[in-house]
Structure formats: C-alpha cells, structure tokens
Structure 1
Amino acid sequence: MPVPAEYVRSLHAYELRILLALERLMRRYRWVPLEVLKSATKFSESELSYRLGRLMAMDMVRYEKTPYEGYALVFNGYDSLALHSLTRRGTIQALGTQIGVGKESEVYEAMGLGVVVLKFHRVGQRSFQSARVKRGYMPEAGHCPWIFASSSSAKMEYDALKTLHPAVSVPLPIDQNRHVVVMSFVPGVNLSRAALEEPRPILDEILDNVREAYRLGIVHGDLSEFNVMVDEKQCWLIDWPQWVEIAHPNAAEILNRDIENILQYFKRKYGIDYAFDEALARVVE
C-alpha cells in the first residue's frame, strides 16, 4: 500500500526537508549517519530527533543502530515525495483505490484531469538481484538501494510509453516522478481473466502491436497474458519496464519468448493453433 494520503497532507516542511536529504544522501550511504543528516538539514539535535520520530511513526524512515546509528528512507517516504511533487505540479489531486498489483508494482486510480492511473514501481528485496542481472539500467556494482532501482524502472517504462504512443496501443503517458508513472486509465480487464467470444482478432491485434513496437525499435521483454488488457473491441499492451532495444544482443531471443508466450496462451485457452514462424514473420517483416 502507498502511504496514506493524510500522512502526505500532514507533512511539515521540516519533515519534507529530512526526506529530501535522506533521498540525496542515500546515494552514498545505505544508512545515513545521524551527524551527516544533522549537517545536511541544519536542524538542532532536538528538532531533528522530533521530526525523525514523526517520520518513523508514519513508517517513512527506518532507524538502524549497527554498524552505526543511521537512518534510511523507505517506500512510504519515497511515495510521499513522489505524491507531493505530482500534486504540486497539478498532475494529480486525489489518490483512489488499488486496481492492480504485480511482482514489482502497485497500481491505483487517482484524480487528475479526470481519472488517471498511478503505477508505483517497487523493485523489492527478492527481485532486486534478478533485476540487477537482467536490466541494462541497473548498475553492475556499487550502492543502489531498492528505491532508486524502482525509480529507474519507472523511468524506463515512461520512456517506452512516450516512444510507443500513439502508434502502439498503450496507455497515454502523462507524468513521471521518482518511482511513480502517471498514465491514462485503460478500460477492460486483464487478458488472463477475460473470456473472449472472438479471440482470434484479439490475438491478431496483439501481434500487430508487437510489430509496431518492433518498428519503433522496442521489444516488450515480458509479454504474456498478464500484461495485456482487453475488451471485446481492443487490446492494450501494458507493463513496459523490461523493454529492450532491437539492437540489444538478446533482442531476438526476447522477442521470440514474447511471441511464444502469447501464442501458447491462446492455444491453451482457446485452441488457436497459430504457427510461431508465421507469427514471427508478421512481426519482423
């Protein structure tokens, strides 16, 4: 769950300054030493202690005694910084209910200029090492906290959506701040939960969208029935943080896997036997 809205609204300017200082300093420290944080914020020891106590009570900051006394920003704090920035920019006005959850994200409705969707990227403890291995935007070594990995993931997805829209049927990208992507609301249901009366036209449309993305130099990288939204008239390809350029050395293998995943799903659920070679030719030729 993202941080409760009332917590974001109740943040004092001093508490925002502490969160921003931790965000900056955590690029150097896993746990920011108290003296370093005190120097960065220019607060007295009593003021800093009081504000840190409030932030820890709201689960925005964590404290650790070993190997030294230090503090770290956690996702509630990072959520607060992103939501505060998006609200000040006028992108969003209110946060609504959760509408989806994945391995590395949570998705919520929100109000902006109408209904929009907020996707909170959360590259967590279990997925962090695999993300470091698989994704080009992750540093090979050094300090990269999960919050910054999540920010990189969000930027990757936002960049893909900007490149693909409107040629490919994807959500309209509206804004991005830190680990949060704001996009247009997509109607319909997840393909994995749909019961299509006419599945073949939807399969054809998915492949056509994969082709258009390929022509724009992008391979999805994680395409399956869980990353497609459908109604009876249209489909949308979603979840793009793992995309690769077609010049990537493994692009052909990744594209083949994307296509195979979709073909196997339609064969398993709807009995459609679509030859892989035919599907691949439709995408790349």
Structure 2
Amino acid sequence: MPVPAEYVRSLHAYELRVLLALERLMRRYQWVPLDVLKSATKFSESELSYRLGRLMAMDMVRYEKVPYEGYALVFNGYDSLALHTLTRRGTIQALGTLIGVGKESEVYEAMGLGVVVLKFHRVGQRSFQSVRLKRGYMPEAGHCPWLFASTSSAKMEYDALKALHPAVSVPLPIDQNRHVVAMSYIPGVNLSQATVTEPQIILDEILDNIREAYRLGIVHGDLSEFNVMVDEGQCWLIDWPQWVETAHPNADEILGRDIVNILQYFKRKYGIEYAFDEALARVVE
C-alpha cells in the first residue's frame, strides 16, 4: 500500500528536503552515506539524525550496515514525494481506496476534479532479472533502483495514453509524477471477471482498438483479458507500460502474441472461433 495520507500531511519541510536529497543521491549510491547526506541537506548531524529517525519510523527511509552504512529511500518515501507533488499541482485532493492490484502496480481511487485513478508503478519487486530482460528502458548494467525503474514505467504508460487518447479507447491521462500516473476513472470490471452478453461485439471492439493503436505506431505488448475493462458493451484497453513502437524489430511478434492472447480467451470462454490470420489482417490492413 502507499504511505498513509496522514504521514504525507505530517511531513516537515526538513523531512521533504531529506527525501529529495536521497532521491537525487540514489542515482549515485545504493545506500547514501550519512556524511554525503549531511553535506547535501546542510543540516547539523543532530537535526539530520532526528529527521531520519522520523522518516524511518514512517517506513519512508531504510538504514543498512552492509555492504556499508547508509540510507535509502523506499517506496513509501517515493509515494510521499509523488503525492506531495500531485497535491501541490492540484491534480488530487485526497487519496481513496485500493481498487486494483497488478503484477507491478497498485491502483487507487482519488479525488481531483471529480473521481480520478492513481496508478502506483512497482517495477521489479518480484523479479529483477525478468524485468531487466523484458523492459527496453532498463539499463544493461549499473545501479537502477526500483524507484527509478518504476518512474520509467509510469512515463512509458503516460506517454502511450497521451498518444492514444481519444482515438483508442483508453483512460484519459491527467498527470504523471515519478512512478504515479493520474488518469480518468474507468467504469466496469475487468474482462477476466466479466461474463459479457455479446462477446462477439466486445471481441470486434478490442480488435478495432488494437488496429487504431497500430495505426498510431503503438503495440500494447502485454495484452490479455486482464488488461481490458468492459461495461455495458464498451471496452477499454489498460496497462500500457510495455508498449513498443511498430518500428521495433520484434513488433510483429509482439502484436501477434497480443492478438493470440485475446482470441484464445474468447475461444476458451465463449467458444468463438476467429482465425488468427483474419484477425491480424483486420489489425494491420
């Protein structure tokens, strides 16, 4: 879960300065040494120790002795920085309840100008190696904390939504800061949990949306029944951080996999037979 809202509200300006300094320094250090952090914040040792103690009590910062003594920003601290910025911008006013959990994300309702959705990207918590292999934005080598990988994931998704909306039925992108994307609320339920009354219409609509995205130069890259929302005959394609350009050398293979996933789901659940070659021709025509 993201950090409790009362923790964010209670943060002192000095504690925000510590979090921001850690965020900056963690691009160079896995664990930021105390003397480096002291120099960056310009705090006395006693003031810095007090602020670090409070942040560690709120599980925003962690301390480690191995391989050397140092401090690191963790997701609760990163959540706090993102929520603080989104609130200051006027994007959100309050954080609501958890409405969805993915392999690498948590999705919450929030209040902005009406109900909005906040998607907190959590890249690599399960398997660093699998993420490094699959994601083009992960560096080949070197230090890449999950925080910054999650920010890259959020930016990828936000950029896709901006490029696709409104031609493709996707959430409206509202804002993005660090690893958090703010977007419009989508009604309905996940396709994997629904039983639709006219599955052929929904399948056709999904394929049409894949086609429109393809025309805009984008392939979803991770499409399945788990990344489609449906409501009263409408559908929306969600979860876009793994998209690739149609010019990508593996784009055809990735597009084919997306289409196969959808066709197999509708065949398995609804008995709809739809030839892959026909579906592919419909998308790339």
Normalised to the residue count of structure 1, the TM-score between the two structures is 0.99
Alpha-carbon contact 2:124-2:131 (below 8 Å) kept: no
- The separation in 1 between residues aligned to 2:25 and 2:129, in whole angstroms, is 22
- The separation in 2 between residues aligned to 1:284 and 1:57, in whole angstroms, is 54
Alpha-carbon contact 2:104-2:122 (below 8 Å) kept: yes
The sequence identity of aligned pairs, in percent, is 91
Single out whichever of 13-22 and 131-140 deviates more from structure 2: 131-140
- The separation in 1 between residues aligned to 2:82 and 2:12, in whole angstroms, is 16
- The separation in 1 between residues aligned to 2:17 and 2:114, in whole angstroms, is 31
Single out whichever of 173-182 and 228-237 deviates more from structure 2: 228-237
The one-character-per-residue Cα deviations of 1:69-88 (angstroms, maximum 9, x if unpaired) are: 10000000000000000000
- The separation in 2 between residues aligned to 1:49 and 1:129, in whole angstroms, is 35
The Cα shift of 1:68 comes to 1.7
SS in 2 for 1:111: strand
The Cα shift of 1:67 comes to 2.1
The Cα shift of 1:254 comes to 0.3
The Cα shift of 1:92 comes to 0.1
Alpha-carbon contact 2:104-2:125 (below 8 Å) kept: no
- The separation in 2 between residues aligned to 1:259 and 1:265, in whole angstroms, is 10
The Cα shift of 1:6 comes to 0.1
SS in 1 for 2:127: helix
The one-character-per-residue Cα deviations of 1:198-234 (angstroms, maximum 9, x if unpaired) are: 1000000000000000000000000000000001221
The Cα shift of 1:126 comes to 2.2
- The separation in 2 between residues aligned to 1:46 and 1:223, in whole angstroms, is 52
Residue 80 of structure 1 corresponds to: 80
- The separation in 2 between residues aligned to 1:149 and 1:221, in whole angstroms, is 18
Equivalent residue runs for 1:55-204 within 5 Å: 55-204=55-204
The Cα shift of 1:123 comes to 0.6
The Cα shift of 1:137 comes to 1.1
Q: Which runs of 5+ in 1 are unaligned?
A: none
SS in 1 for 2:90: coil
The Cα shift of 1:127 comes to 3.0
Residue 248 of structure 2 corresponds to: 248
The Cα shift of 1:132 comes to 1.4
- The separation in 2 between residues aligned to 1:240 and 1:247, in whole angstroms, is 17
- The separation in 1 between residues aligned to 2:132 and 2:52, in whole angstroms, is 31
Single out whichever of 131-140 and 75-84 deviates more from structure 2: 131-140
- The separation in 1 between residues aligned to 2:115 and 2:198, in whole angstroms, is 29
How many residue pairs get aligned? The number is 285
- The separation in 2 between residues aligned to 1:161 and 1:129, in whole angstroms, is 27
Q: Runs of at least 4 residues of structure 1 off by over 3 A? A: none
The Cα shift of 1:131 comes to 1.7
RMSD value, Cα:
0.6
- The separation in 2 between residues aligned to 1:231 and 1:126, in whole angstroms, is 31
- The separation in 2 between residues aligned to 1:35 and 1:190, in whole angstroms, is 49
- The separation in 2 between residues aligned to 1:17 and 1:48, in whole angstroms, is 10
Q: Which runs of 5+ in 2 are unaligned?
A: none
SS in 2 for 1:106: strand
The Cα shift of 1:136 comes to 1.3
